[in-house]
Amino acid sequence: MNPKMQTNEKSDLLEVKDLVKYFPVRGGLLQRVVAQVQAVDKVSFTVKNGETLGLVGESGCGKTTVGRSILRLIEPTSGQVNFNGEDITHMRPNSLKSLRRDMQIIFQDPYASLNPRMPIGESVMEGLQIHKIGHPKERWQVAITMLKKVGLEEYHARRYPHEFSGGQRQRIGIARALALQPKFIVCDEPVSALDVSIQSQVLNILKDLQREFGLTYLFIAHNLSVVEHISDRVGVMYLGKMVELASREDLFREPLHPYTKALMSAIPIPHPNVKRDRTILKGDVPSPLNPPKGCRFHTRCPIAKDICSQQEPEFKEARPGHWTACWLVE
Amino acid sequence: MTASTQVAKLEAEAITIEERSPFQVVMMRFRRHKLAMVSLGLIIFIFLVTALAPYIARFEFDEVNVGKYFVDWGTVDAETGRVHYMGTDNIGRDYFSRLIYAGRISLTVALLSVLISETLGIIVGAVSGFYGGWLDAVLMRFLEFMLTIPTLPLLLIISAMLLQNEELIPIPEPLLNFLGDFLLLGPRAARNAVLIVIVLAGFGWLSSAQLMRGTVLSLREQTFVEAARSLGASNVWIIMRHMIPNAMAPIIVDASLGLAGYVVAEAALAFLGFGIQDPIPTWGNMLSATQQFMLSRPYLPLVPGLPIFICSLAFNYIGDGLRDALDPRLKL
C-alpha cells in the first residue's frame, strides 16, 4: 500500500457480498440440468476508491467469472454487488445502461476484442454513440484524444484492427474503455496474451491512466509478479473461493494460506545460487462440478488435518487487514 | 537535419501507401482471379446491352413482321432498312431485339429475387442465431421442413396459381407502373415479373437464412460482442453494427451464386410454361418456344440458351472469385 493510502482511509467503491455463480450443465433429451459448475462460491471483497485490487488464481478458479458478474455481463446466481453504495445485482436494463458508463472492462484477448470490420477510431467512440454523448465530430475528437492517451496517433484512428500488433490492440481496448470516463475498470488478464516486453509497457500505461483519471481497478491475472507490480491489495482465489486477501506487502511478506505459499514458491528467482523451500502441489485442481467437502484445498494441501476435510473454514481476519480461510492459521 | 526530415518524409509516404481499407484489399485479391474478372466484364457488358435495349434494338419486342418467318441472320428489312441481326422467329418477330428485352426481364427478376431473399435471410438468420432459444428452434425447424419439400413442383403450382389469379397477391399500382417503365415492357410484364420474384424469393431466402444464422452463431461468442455489451449496447445495436457487417462476406458470395441460380430457375419456370408468358420475352420462354422447331432448326435453342449459360457461369465465377477474395484466412 502506498503511504497516501495508509494515511487517509478511502471509502469503498465496490462491495461484493457472497457472490455465487453456478453454471448449469444440461444434458439428456429434455435438456434438464444434470449438474452445476460451481464457478464462484460465496466470494466477498471490497475495492476502495482509487486502489487496484489484484485477483490471482489458476485457470478455472473463477476469477474471470467474478469480473464479469460484477459488470453483469453474466448474471450472478446469488449474492450482491454494491457499486457506489447502490445495489446493482437487481438493476433493471435502463439503469444498467447508465451504470455501464461508470464500469468498464479490458479483455484478455486483444485479437478478438475489436470488431475487425470497424476502424479503431469508431470502436473507441462506440460507447459515446451508444450513450448519445456529444455530436459525431466531438465523439471523433474524444476518440482521438483517448488514442493519444494510450500512445497512438491521430492517423491510426481510421485504420482497421488487423493493421495493429497485439500490444497496440490492447491499448486500443484500453482507449475504448476510457472513452466513457468510467470510475472503475475490470482488467481481465490484460497482459497475459502479450509478450513480456510489451507487458510492462501496457502495465505502465494502466498505472499512468489510473493516476490521471483517478481510476479504480480490479486487476485479474495469473501472473504473481504482474500482480505485485500493479496492485495495492491482492486476493487469491482457489476453485471458486477466495482463500486469502491482504495488502500487497503483507501478502508477499507473510502469506498465510498454504495455497498462497505454494504459489509464492513457484515464482522464479533470477539468481542461480538462491536455495529455498519449494512447496510443490500434487495432483490437479479438482473439478468445480463436484468440489471437495470442507476446505476445497484439502485434497492438495501439504499440511491438511482432519478438520479440513470435514468443515469449511471461515474467511476471517487473521491479522489486521489480512483475511484468509484456513483452519490452521492462528 | 535534412537527412532526418527526408527519412521522416519517406516514412510518412510508406505509411500512406500501406493504408488500405478492407474493400480495397478485397478488390486487390479479386483482380487476381482471372476468370472472375472476365466474368465480371461479361456481366457488365450484358447489363449495359440490356439497359440500353431501346437504343440497340432495331425492332419492338412484339413487332410482328408478317410473311417474314425464320428469315436468315443479317437479313435487311426492305421497307425500313433495319437489320435482323439474328433473323426472326416463327411469327416474324426480330430475335435480337427480343433477346435483349428478354435479358432485361430475366436479369431484373434474378436481381430482385436475390435482393429480397438475402434481405429476408439476413434478418431471419440474424434474429434466429442471435437470440437462440425456442425462437431459434422454431424458426430452424420451419426452415428445415420447407427445405425438405422438392422446390420445382411447388414452384410450378404456386406460380400457376398466382399467374391465373392475379388478385391473389395485391401488388401496389405505383410499384407496377415504375417497374413497367423501368423494364420498358409495361405494367403487365411488371406484374408477371413481380409474381415470379415472389415465388422464387419465397423459397430462396431459406438457405440464406441458414447461412446467416450459422455465421451469427459463431460471431456472437466473440469478445468484441461482449465488449459492445459492456459499453451498454442493445441487442439491436449489436446485430446492426457488429453481426451484419461481419457476416457480409458469406452473404455476398451467396448472393452472387444465387443470381446464377435465379437466372436458371426463372428460365426453368418459363420453359415449362409456368413463368412469364409470351408475348413478353424472357430467355426461358424464348427457349421454350424453340422446342417445336428443334428438329428442323437445331441451332435455335442456342439463341436464348447461350445468354442463360453465360450469365449463370459468369455469376458462378464471380461468386468463386469473391469467396477467395473475402476469405480472411488468406491475409495479405
Q: How big is the CA angle at A39 (ends A33 and A40), to the nearest 5 degrees?
A: 120
> For A229-256, how does the pLDDT look when each residue is reduced to its tens digit (9 = 90+)?
999 999 999 999 999 999 999 999 989 9
On chain B, the residues whose CB falls within 8 A of the CB of A107 are 223, 226-227
Using the beta-carbon criterion (under 8 Å), do B231 and A173 form an inter-chain contact? no
A143 vs A157: CA distance, rounded Å: 8
Assembly ipTM: 0.86
Using the beta-carbon criterion (under 8 Å), do A100 and B237 form an inter-chain contact? no
B116 vs B294: CA distance, rounded Å: 36
What values do phi and psi take at A282, rounded to 5? -95, 150
Name the pLDDT band for A1 (thresholds 50, 70, 90): very low
Contact A19, A76 (CB under 8 A): yes
**How many angstroms away from the CA of A113 is the closest CA of chain B?**
4
Domains of chain B: 101-322 (1.10.3720.10)
**Backbone region of residue B121 per phi and psi (left: phi > 0; alpha: psi in -120 to 50; beta: other values):** alpha
On chain A, the residues whose CB falls within 8 A of the CB of B229 are 73
On chain B, the residues whose CB falls within 8 A of the CB of A125 are none
Which of B22, B226, B232 is opposite residue A127, by nearest beta carbon?
B232
The pLDDT of residue B125 is above 50: yes
Q: Does A117 touch chain B (CB under 8 A)?
A: yes
Which of A96, A115, A180 is opposite residue B242, by nearest beta carbon?
A115
Residue B76: strand, helix, or coil? strand
Residue B84: strand, helix, or coil? strand
Per the document, the length of chain A is 330
Residue A160: per-residue pLDDT: 87
Three-state SS sequence of chain A: CCHHHHHCCCCEEEEEEEEEEEEEEEECCCCEEEEEEEEEEEEEEEEECCCEEEEECCCCCCHHHHHHHHCCCCCCCEEEEEECCEECCCCCHHHHHHHCCCEEEECCCCCCCCCCCCCHHHHHHHHHHHCCCCCHHHHHHHHHHHHHHCCCCHHHHHCCHHHCCHHHHHHHHHHHHHCCCCCEEEEECCCCCCCHHHHHHHHHHHHHHHHHHCCEEEEEECCHHHHHHHCCEEEEEECCEEEEEEEHHHHHHCCCCHHHHHHHHCCCCCCCCCCCCCCCCCCCCCCCCCCCCCCCCCCCCCCCCHHHHHCCCCCEEEECCEEECCCCCC
The pLDDT of residue B12 is above 80: no
On chain A, the residues whose CB falls within 8 A of the CB of B246 are 115-117
Using the beta-carbon criterion (under 8 Å), do B231 and A71 form an inter-chain contact? no
The pLDDT of residue B160 is above 90: no
Residue A47: per-residue pLDDT: 93
**How many angstroms away from the CA of A132 is the closest CA of chain B?**
11
Which of B19, B21, B224 is opposite residue A115, by nearest beta carbon?
B224
Residue A2: per-residue pLDDT: 44
Residues 6+ apart with CB under 8 A from B75: B68, B83, B84, B87, B88
Starting at the edge strand found earlier in the chain, the sheet holding A184-188 runs: A103-106, A184-188, A216-221, A52-56, A233-238, A241-247, A322-324, A316-319
Residue B112: per-residue pLDDT: 93
Q: Cell 406484374 sits at which residue? A: B191
> For A259-311, how does the pLDDT look when each residue is reduced to its tens digit (9 = 90+)?
998 888 888 777 777 777 777 787 788 888 888 888 989 888 888 888 888 88
Using the beta-carbon criterion (under 8 Å), do A73 and B19 form an inter-chain contact? no
0.90 exceeded by pTM: no
A104 vs A116: CA distance, rounded Å: 21
What values do phi and psi take at A155, rounded to 5? -70, -15
Nearest CA in chain B to A69: B230
The mean pLDDT value of chain A amounts to 88
Residues 6+ apart with CB under 8 A from B274: B155, B156, B159, B160, B163
Distances, alpha carbon B273 to alpha carbons B18, B164, B268, B289, in Å: 56, 13, 9, 10
> For B250-275, how does the pLDDT look when each residue is reduced to its tens digit (9 = 90+)?
898 899 989 999 999 988 888 888 88
Residue B168: per-residue pLDDT: 76
| Burial annotation B302-322 (CB, 10 A radius, 16+ → b, else e) | ebbbebbebbbebbbbbbbbb
In percent, how much of chain B has pLDDT > 90? Answer: 35
Cell of A294: 470442507
**How many angstroms away from the CA of A204 is the closest CA of chain B?**
23
Using the beta-carbon criterion (under 8 Å), do A115 and B246 form an inter-chain contact? yes
Residue B331: per-residue pLDDT: 46
Closest to A100 in 3D by CA, of A135, A119, A62, A128: A128
Which segment of A313-317, B10-14, B26-30, B119-123 scores lowest on mean pLDDT?
Answer: B10-14
User: How many CB atoms lie under 10 A from the CB of residue A225?
Assistant: 11
Using the beta-carbon criterion (under 8 Å), do A105 and B227 form an inter-chain contact? yes
On chain B, the residues whose CB falls within 8 A of the CB of A71 are 230
CB-facing half-sphere around the CA of B38: CA atoms within 13 A? 5
Q: For an interface test with A, give the residue of B223, B225, B238 to mutate (most A CBs within 10 A).
A: B223
> For B219-244, how does the pLDDT look when each residue is reduced to its tens digit (9 = 90+)?
998 999 999 999 999 999 999 999 99
Using the beta-carbon criterion (under 8 Å), do A105 and B230 form an inter-chain contact? yes
Name the pLDDT band for B40 (thresholds 50, 70, 90): very high
pLDDT (mean) for A30-58: 89
Residue B306: per-residue pLDDT: 92
In percent, how much of chain A has pLDDT > 90? Answer: 50
Distances, alpha carbon B321 to alpha carbons B27, B36, B88, in Å: 10, 5, 38
On chain A, the residues whose CB falls within 8 A of the CB of B224 are 112-115
pLDDT (mean) for B293-312: 89
Name the pLDDT band for B48 (thresholds 50, 70, 90): very high
B67 vs B70: CA distance, rounded Å: 9
Using the beta-carbon criterion (under 8 Å), do B227 and A107 form an inter-chain contact? yes
Q: How big is the CA angle at B43 (ends B38 and B49), to the nearest 5 degrees?
A: 125
Using the beta-carbon criterion (under 8 Å), do A73 and B226 form an inter-chain contact? yes
Cell of A129: 454513440
Closest to A322 in 3D by CA, of A233, A228, A222, A226: A233
**How many angstroms away from the CA of B319 is the closest CA of chain A?**
21
Nearest CA in chain A to B15: A155
Q: Does A287 touch chain B (CB under 8 A)?
A: no
Which of A96, A104, A160 is opposite residue B22, by nearest beta carbon?
A160
> For A163-179, how does the pLDDT look when each residue is reduced to its tens digit (9 = 90+)?
898 899 999 999 999 99
> For A60-83, how does the pLDDT look when each residue is reduced to its tens digit (9 = 90+)?
888 999 999 999 999 999 999 999
Nearest CA in chain A to B19: A159
Name the pLDDT band for A6 (thresholds 50, 70, 90): very low
Name the pLDDT band for A188 (thresholds 50, 70, 90): very high
Cβ-Cβ contacts under 8 Å between A and B: the total is 68
pLDDT (mean) for B285-303: 87
User: How many CB atoms lie under 10 A from the CB of residue B54?
Assistant: 12
A104 vs A115: CA distance, rounded Å: 17
The pLDDT of residue A3 is above 70: no
On chain A, the residues whose CB falls within 8 A of the CB of B331 are 162
On chain B, the residues whose CB falls within 8 A of the CB of A160 are 21-22
Residue A8: per-residue pLDDT: 46
